[in-house]
C-alpha cells in the first residue's frame, strides 16, 4: 500500500511538471479516488478483524 501511494505521488509530480490534457488529469483523479477508497476499505477490514480476534 505504501509503495502504491509513493508510485501515485511520483506519477502526480511527473504529470504536474509536464502539461497534460484534462482527460489525463481526470483519469488520474479517478485512480486516486479509487485508491483512497480501497485504502479506507482495507483499514476497515483490519479493524474489524482486530475486534473479532484481539490476538
User: One digit per residue, pLDDT tens: the chain, 55 residues?
Assistant: 677 777 778 788 777 766 566 667 778 888 888 888 888 888 887 777 666 665 5
* Distance (Å, whole) CA 18 – CA 4: 21
Q: What count of other Cβ atoms lies within 10 Å of the Cβ of residue 16?
A: 10
pLDDT of residue 13: 78
Helices then strands, each counted (H, E), the chain: 2, 0
pLDDT of residue 12: 80
pLDDT of residue 4: 78
pLDDT of residue 51: 65
Amino acid at each position: 500500500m505504501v509503495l502504491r501511494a509513493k508510485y501515485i505521488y511520483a506519477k502526480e509530480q511527473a504529470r504536474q511538471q509536464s502539461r497534460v490534457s484534462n482527460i489525463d488529469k481526470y483519469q488520474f483523479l479517478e485512480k486516486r479516488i479509487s485508491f483512497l477508497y480501497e485504502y479506507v476499505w482495507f483499514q476497515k477490514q483490519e479493524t474489524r478483524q482486530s475486534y473479532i480476534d484481539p490476538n
